[in-house]
Structure 1
Amino acid sequence: MKKKIWFNRWFSTAYHLMEAIKKNSDGIEFEIYGTHPVKDTVYFTVCDYYEVEPDLEAGEYIEYCLDFCRKHQIDAFIPYHYAPEVSENIARFWEIGTNVLVCEDFGLMDTMSHKGKLYESFQAHNLSSLVPAYRIVRTVEEFEEAYHMISNEGKKACFKPANGRGGAGFRVVTETENTVEDLFGPISHKITYANAVKILSSVSSFEELMVLEYLEEVEYSIDCLAYNGQLLAAVPRKKAAGRIRELEDVPELLDLANKVNSIYQIPYVYNIQVKYSQGKPKLLEINPRMAGGLHISCLSGVNFPYLAVKLLLNGYADVPIPKLDIFATHVEQSVMLSKKEQLVTN
């Protein structure tokens, strides 16, 4: 009988993750289930079954997930939406026979979900050299103090929500106003210091912002596969010019991956993001899930999505040594959204 795998409310590149699982080298067949609140979600075209999700708050959403797993007898649940809350309730999924591809340690999930807590944890584990200058702020006065602390060190400042995902809310702070040339150039994430202060001063307090030094050099994502405390594979994926990516053998980043594994022992598949400053890597975040660009790292010969599922369901997997020093890119692909007959709405 085919194993049933469910992805809930993922980003569009889950399309590639699903394909990687289906096109595994062992020839094992899976049924892929997908849900999302947008009815024309592209990864629905890869799914054997899909439906539109309801818009629910955390508690009700967990009940929806449990009901979905019961109804469809899901073998492996791969959560993205409300993943920390799923981790907190993982025993309830085990009770109904569903394995969950998520870190089982809710405390660790909570730490990784909050950038300030993660930085504090790095400092507590003698990894301070990897932490950029930063402050967590909730008022405009705290924002001004943090900005001046960073700028007085001769560094450019930026900020983003402490609990944010990806690039949401990210801004680089500048002293100068935009020019006409800026208006005709690419869309920018820049904001002037004066404008930031004006906006933030319109409220007495706001959700936690992390103000930190802007790291201007090259960025890497280190895709990791691990199980039972053992790091099985790590692939540093460099953001080169434009859409070019390089799978690169960088000893200090592979060493970092081993240190993170030895300290946190995050299971299955996760992603460490770093960016360089003055030739040294600095931590951006750790994503305890499959990354959006993971399909590029699969060009190393390591099928991360499939192997993670195999480890989850079977407890073992033969993992090849990654092939690095690979340049890659991706192109747009037209996908017809035509499988309306399989759509189920609640």
Structure 2
Amino acid sequence: MSHKIWLMEGLSSQRDIINGITSTAKKHNYNVSIYASHRQSRNEILSLADHALIEPNDINQRLEFILSTVKKYAIQAIHTGRHAHWFEAHRAAIEPSGAHLTTGARDVAMLDLADDKVAFAHHMKSLNLPVVPSLRVDSPVQLRELIARKPFGDLPLCVKPVTGIYGMGFWQFDESVSPMAAFTHPDARRVKAEYYLQALEAVDSMEPLVLMPYLPGPEYSVDMLAENGKVLAAVARRKEGALQYLENSGEAFELAQACAAAMGADGLINVQTRNDASGKPLLLEINMRPSGGIGYTRFSGVNLPGLFALRQLGLISQQQVLDDARRDFTPATVRALSDVVAYNPVLSNQVQ
């Protein structure tokens, strides 16, 4: 019997997830068929699956496309990384088809909370979970006043959008850098506060920002497999310079799991923390989706995408996942490298 899982368009890591599932199915000799889809011609992703589909761009066609695909190919599980709010709002229309849906949570309200970094911080604080202090900024005038007031004492400050992904829009205020630093070394993400304010004051409108203290670190990115708030497997990546150290214990590891439980996380998700000057980890944010680095965690021996697929297809129990994650983990050090793959403009595995 073939077990069928459908990976719909995600924000990142779709290739790594496909590879992880393929590896696990082969290792355990399970007959798993992977369907992958995207709205764009991402053949470098879709070609890795057993079957590829092109998603409609028109949102009004999405539900019918899903239901007809599930019926035609007897799909048992669907994972989505993008459009999670839409999918969660349509769970009641999708799951009667027989396919189990994973969106990152079982509640639109939790997806909304995760997307608002200030609301998330306040919620974590209300639960007595240590979190980076966060202030919402709605205007350049407000930001200028807050910077002058020093709300976090002498700690350096940083800003980023209240909603956003990939760290886009993050800047640390640093009065020691050159006025040209943001142009000559943009990847350092450092800028003089006055120049940032001048740019912000020059635009007609601004997206809300979150002002936070910049903590010394290190930063942890904890990738997890959770089911309705219960964490079944997790691997922490401690980031120091170009290297990442894979761990499965420690304060940051435990804090991230407590956050996932509090948010009712469901599926492959990620929590980020950063250490303060005393070495205590504080929550930064939760992403109710796979991280861009989830593929790195396989070097620890724990294949989170593979375990996720086996659970969704009913091939292993929760206890087996817990046991496997504990037994298979080995500490490892990894370094990310840029890579290139061949791109075939024709998909030989495309189905309609």
Same-fold status (TM-score > 0.5):
yes
What value does the CA root-mean-square deviation take over the aligned residues? 2.9
* Partner in structure 2 of residue 173 of structure 1: 173
In the alignment, structure 1 residue 23 sits paired with structure 2 residue 23: yes
The verdict on how the C-alpha distance between 1:190 and 1:180 changes in structure 2, with shifts beyond 3 A counting, is: closer
TM-score when normalising by structure 1: 0.86
The verdict on how the C-alpha distance between 1:150 and 1:84 changes in structure 2, with shifts beyond 3 A counting, is: farther
* Partner in structure 2 of residue 219 of structure 1: 219
CA–CA distance in 1 between the matches of 2:153 and 2:44?
A: 46
* Partner in structure 2 of residue 42 of structure 1: 44
CA–CA distance in 1 between the matches of 2:84 and 2:187?
A: 31
How far does residue 133 in structure 1 lie from its aligned partner after superposition? 2.6
TM-score when normalising by structure 2: 0.85
CA–CA distance in 1 between the matches of 2:72 and 2:330?
A: 42
Give the percent of matched residue pairs that are identical in Structure 1 and Structure 2. 25
How far does residue 249 in structure 1 lie from its aligned partner after superposition? 4.6
The verdict on how the C-alpha distance between 1:194 and 1:13 changes in structure 2, with shifts beyond 3 A counting, is: same
Q: Are the equivalent residues in 2 in contact too, given 1:228–1:265 (CA < 8 A)?
A: yes
The verdict on how the C-alpha distance between 1:206 and 1:332 changes in structure 2, with shifts beyond 3 A counting, is: closer
Superposition map of 1:266-281 within 5 A: 266-278=265-277, 279-281=279-281
Q: Are the equivalent residues in 2 in contact too, given 1:53–1:345 (CA < 8 A)?
A: no
* Partner in structure 2 of residue 335 of structure 1: 341
The verdict on how the C-alpha distance between 1:126 and 1:67 changes in structure 2, with shifts beyond 3 A counting, is: same
In the alignment, structure 1 residue 201 sits paired with structure 2 residue 184: no
The verdict on how the C-alpha distance between 1:181 and 1:232 changes in structure 2, with shifts beyond 3 A counting, is: closer
Q: Are the equivalent residues in 2 in contact too, given 1:150–1:213 (CA < 8 A)?
A: no
Count of residues in correspondence between the two structures: 342
Q: Deviations over 1:198-227 (max 9, x none)?
A: 232235643221121122321111122233
CA–CA distance in 2 between the matches of 1:341 and 1:228?
A: 36
Q: Are the equivalent residues in 1 in contact too, given 2:43–2:347 (CA < 8 A)?
A: no
* Partner in structure 2 of residue 264 of structure 1: 263
Give the AA of the match of 1:50: A
The verdict on how the C-alpha distance between 1:218 and 1:199 changes in structure 2, with shifts beyond 3 A counting, is: same
Equivalent position SS for 2:269: strand
The verdict on how the C-alpha distance between 1:41 and 1:241 changes in structure 2, with shifts beyond 3 A counting, is: farther
Structure 2, gaps ≥5 residues long: none
Q: Are the equivalent residues in 1 in contact too, given 2:6–2:77 (CA < 8 A)?
A: yes
* Partner in structure 2 of residue 252 of structure 1: 251
Q: Deviations over 1:243-276 (max 9, x none)?
A: x221125421233144225433422332111111
Give the AA of the match of 2:270: N
Which segment drifts farther, 74-83 or 45-54? 45-54
CA–CA distance in 2 between the matches of 1:116 and 1:181?
A: 28
The verdict on how the C-alpha distance between 1:345 and 1:48 changes in structure 2, with shifts beyond 3 A counting, is: closer
CA–CA distance in 2 between the matches of 1:191 and 1:62?
A: 45
